[in-house]
Structure 1
């Protein structure tokens, strides 16, 4: 069987071109508190290697994932293949101090310098301000704050393009309205279950910001099903959410479609979304994700799934 070829699409106004699927580097660094299992260093590095040489040209990691371990494993994989492949887009994120919570401009610079060291690079093509909900918007934009530090790093040529990655949709919109950011990651807020990022996606597109949608599986439940997980977005799901996911599972089974294929393609088929992040923790998961991304889904299934989204009161917002 011929391996699928994934076309590349412009990521907003960055000039970068990426596949519709982005490999998420959180699990490959081992995040048992989120995913419920450990990932060894060798398996994580092998997974990163599969991502760097597989059908997708986009990999997302972060300084804060497992205290830099995700980046270390990606860096080890890069050394094995002699650097970032031509045309490949490697994105990372600057984070607050995991111990003190410091999210100052100085901390952002330390975070970026740590990423360069762990990845073995002298320049970072795309860097996101990660989880700015841990400080106020005013603190984020303050003199000597994190956004100012990112702009200085971009001016110095250390960073190519700036993005913002976080949860609360209105806060993300505030950051986009500054005009500073060229890319957005929203997560757990545009899935088969939760549609709270709808207005944010519209605004991002209007502003020319490239949209990357994270966690299409809601942390696992929309891939593994309710028999394997009762959590959505890493927290115990409301019983109404579970009821609706069970109905989705039944509808998918009736149409001969894996729930994970429907969950992934729900994001991929949205014209506002340039790429969708899927976290992987084993090398074979890269090819499995490619199969889910290309699974043929009958049009009638979307008609069944659409009204099964949770009511707005249960969305993440």
Structure 2
């Protein structure tokens, strides 16, 4: 493993926010590393050198956070980020790199031994001996009691934090009821929710409120719901990785029309919806090419009139929760 050298942060004029009580400060945007590697059925394949170049641009640019997981491309996202870290000469000081321990991707087993294997392999791919933030990834796919059992993944995570392998630990997932159970344990520093706090889906609101009340930092991901809240209904018919219902498509179409009426790109509204929320420390935007980083910054810099938020809120309030992911 390599030690993390001390690098200064580029003076790009982007403010940072506290990430709960972790002591970390994070930029309002985080670059999402899932699209850096092949993930059939979810993201298009990205050539290795493009993935590495994108990771290098993320590590050396004004956005000072990058999120990945052992599950993204079966570790390939981490490996490409690790290559970029080595080319840069090490992970910059105060850069918030996050990764996630995961269940065995073949057997589905998620016990303490698997948690230890997961972080060991992640650190090897990244070329590091510690990370600022380490998540428990998609624990809803396994039994809650097993994950929480003595010697299980949560206990391993807490041990890794005590040993300094992870400065802070979080829980990242989609199923709101299950993730709430983990948040309520009081063991985690950060909540990451995805696809459930967007222009059209407000279901994570109570969970975000709970996390804030418990002093957790909140990170929000997948504000495009896949791609449909970036491209509109003409470019996609899927929300949160599955076919959207006619009712949900109608609501997204109405939001798209409201954005046109106010002269705001749909993608810009999707990003600003999250970054303007004072409860959310950082918003994860998946990026597959270096130029996408500047494009994302431009989206976040877009002025959005209050009248558009009023219109969008009214449309979202009419969406039947049964048409949204649980």
1:14 aligns with 2:22: yes
Of 175, 188, 197 in structure 1, the residue corresponding to residue 182 of structure 2 is 175
- Give the Cα–Cα distance (whole angstroms) in 2 for the partners of residues 308 and 39 of structure 1: 35
- Give the Cα–Cα distance (whole angstroms) in 1 for the partners of residues 199 and 55 of structure 2: 28
Aligned to 2:226: 219
Aligned to 1:288: 295
Aligned to 1:30: 38
- Give the Cα–Cα distance (whole angstroms) in 2 for the partners of residues 162 and 86 of structure 1: 19
Deviation at 1:86, TM superposition (A): 2.1
1:316 aligns with 2:316: no
Deviation at 1:30, TM superposition (A): 2.4
Deviation at 1:208, TM superposition (A): 0.3
Partner of 2:41: helix, strand, or coil?
helix
Aligned to 1:200: 207
> For 1:169-193, what per-residue CA distance to the aligned partner results, in whole angstroms no more than 9, with x for missing partners?
1211111111110001000010011
- Give the Cα–Cα distance (whole angstroms) in 2 for the partners of residues 274 and 161 of structure 1: 15
Partner of 1:34: helix, strand, or coil?
coil
Aligned to 2:67: 60
1:252 aligns with 2:259: yes
Aligned to 2:95: 88
- Give the Cα–Cα distance (whole angstroms) in 2 for the partners of residues 253 and 54 of structure 1: 31
1:92-103 → structure 2 map (5 Å cutoff): 92-103=99-110
Range with greater deviation from structure 2 (166-175 or 19-28): 166-175
> For 1:30-79, what per-residue CA distance to the aligned partner results, in whole angstroms no more than 9, with x for missing partners?
223112x2111111001111111112111100011111000001001111
- Give the Cα–Cα distance (whole angstroms) in 2 for the partners of residues 305 and 180 of structure 1: 35
Aligned to 2:281: 274
1:107 aligns with 2:114: yes
1:44 aligns with 2:44: no
Given that residues 216 and 267 in structure 1 are in contact (C-alpha distance below 8 angstroms), is that contact kept between their aligned partners in structure 2?
A: yes
Q: CA RMSD in A?
A: 1.2
Given that residues 4 and 294 in structure 1 are in contact (C-alpha distance below 8 angstroms), is that contact kept between their aligned partners in structure 2?
A: no
- Give the Cα–Cα distance (whole angstroms) in 2 for the partners of residues 12 and 158 of structure 1: 19
Deviation at 1:316, TM superposition (A): 1.9
How many pairs are equivalent? 314
Aligned to 1:237: 244
Partner of 1:175: helix, strand, or coil?
helix
1:305 aligns with 2:316: no
Gap runs ≥5 in structure 2: 1-10
- Give the Cα–Cα distance (whole angstroms) in 1 for the partners of residues 214 and 189 of structure 2: 9
Given that residues 55 and 290 in structure 1 are in contact (C-alpha distance below 8 angstroms), is that contact kept between their aligned partners in structure 2?
A: no
Aligned to 2:197: 190
1:144 aligns with 2:180: no
Aligned to 2:235: 228
1:72 aligns with 2:79: yes
1:126 aligns with 2:107: no
- Give the Cα–Cα distance (whole angstroms) in 2 for the partners of residues 299 and 121 of structure 1: 44
Range with greater deviation from structure 2 (302-311 or 281-290): 302-311
- Give the Cα–Cα distance (whole angstroms) in 2 for the partners of residues 119 and 19 of structure 1: 21
- Give the Cα–Cα distance (whole angstroms) in 1 for the partners of residues 148 and 241 of structure 2: 29
- Give the Cα–Cα distance (whole angstroms) in 1 for the partners of residues 276 and 166 of structure 2: 30
Deviation at 1:4, TM superposition (A): 6.7
- Give the Cα–Cα distance (whole angstroms) in 2 for the partners of residues 259 and 200 of structure 1: 25
- Give the Cα–Cα distance (whole angstroms) in 2 for the partners of residues 83 and 311 of structure 1: 48
Off by >3 Å, runs of 4+ in structure 1: none
